Amino acid sequence: MAIELTLNGEAISLEADPDMPLLWAIRDLAGLTGTKYGCGKALCGACNVHMDGQVVRSCVLPVSAAAGRQVTTIEGLTEDGDHPVQVAWRKLNVAQCGYCQSGQIMSAVALLERVPQPSDADIDAAMSGNICRCGTYTRIRKAIHEAAEDLS
């Protein structure tokens, strides 16, 4: 069936089984591959996107649940990659393989919208759903503080 939603500011219609996870609709049907598959079970955060401003795990969210909603992926966060979180990520060379970082950045952006000056404990609580197998956690903490300063 046709499912209508707004993806990165653009109204689109996806011909999909309503049970298809939003992740695969974004990747295979809409053709945006910045959102990653990591576990398929809401365990790792690689698939995190924003829906109506909230972080959601697109790998377990049926695409039908996104009908009529505003979905933002890493590609839609900014035009040029100049969100303070993205800038801080580059300044501190956070990424190693980079694969999980779309999801990390989407989580971090949502955290800073909710808690503009987060403590380490706030960061740990908000970011522990995002696994990084390369182990960039200590740089992510620093980068979030850096972005928070930039945003303030």
Partner 1 sequence: MSDLRLINRREFLKRTGQASGGLVLALSFTTACGPAGREPAGGGTVSVAPNVYVNVRNDGIVEIYCHRSEMGQGIRTCLPQVIADEMEADWDRIELIQALGDEKYGDQNTDGSTSIRNQFDLLRNAGATAREMLIAAAAASWDVPAGECVARKHQVHHEPSGRSAGYGELVDAATELEPPTEAAFKSRDDYRYIGKPMDTIDGLAFTTGKASYGIDTVLPDMLYASIERCPAFGGTVASLDDTAALAVPGVTAVFRLPDPTTPLLFNIQGGVAVVADNTWVAQKGREALQIEWDRGANGDHNSVTYREALQESVTAAGKPVLTRGDVNAAFEAADRVHEAVYYAPYLSQAPMEPPAAVARMTDDGGCEIWACTQNPQAAQDTVAQMLGLDKQQVRVNVTLLGGGFGRKSKPDFIAEAAWLARETQRPVKVTWTREDDIRHGYFHSVSAQFLKAGLDENGKATSLLHRTCFPSIGSTFDPNATGPGGFELDLGFLDNPYRFDSMQLETADAKAHLRIGWLRSVCNVFHAFAGCGFVDELAYLAGEDPKDHLLKLLGEPRMVDPSADGGQYTNYGHSLDKHPIDTGRISAVVEKVADMAGWGRVLPAGHGLGIAVHRSFLSTVGTVAQVSVDSSARIVVHEIWTAIDAGTTINPDRVTSQMEGAAIFGMSLALHGEITTREGGVVQGNYDTYPVVRMSEAPDAIHVHVMESTAPPGGVGEPGVPPVAPAIVNAYFAASGKRIRELPLRNAGLT
Q: By the criterion CB under 8 A, which residues form the site for partner 1?
A: 17, 20-21, 24, 27-29, 31-41, 43-44, 46, 73-75, 77-78, 81, 86, 89-90, 93, 95-102, 105, 120, 123-125, 127-141
The number of C-alpha atoms within 13 Å of 60 and in the hemisphere containing its C-beta is 12
Q: How far is the CB of 27 from partner 1 (least distance, A)?
A: 7
What is d(CA 152, CA 111) in angstroms, rounded to the nearest whole number? 14
Indicate the residue among 60 and 69 with the shorter CB distance to partner 1: 60
Q: How far is the CB of 134 from partner 1 (least distance, A)?
A: 5
Indicate the residue among 12 and 39 with the shorter CB distance to partner 1: 39
Q: What are phi and psi of 19, to 5 degrees?
A: -85, -10
Token readout for 40 is 């398929």
The crossing angle, in degrees rounded to 10, of helices 101-114 and 137-151 is 40
Q: How far is the CB of 116 from partner 1 (least distance, A)?
A: 19
Indicate the residue among 54 and 128 with the shorter CB distance to partner 1: 128
The DSSP element (H or E) to which 105 belongs, if any, is helix 101-114
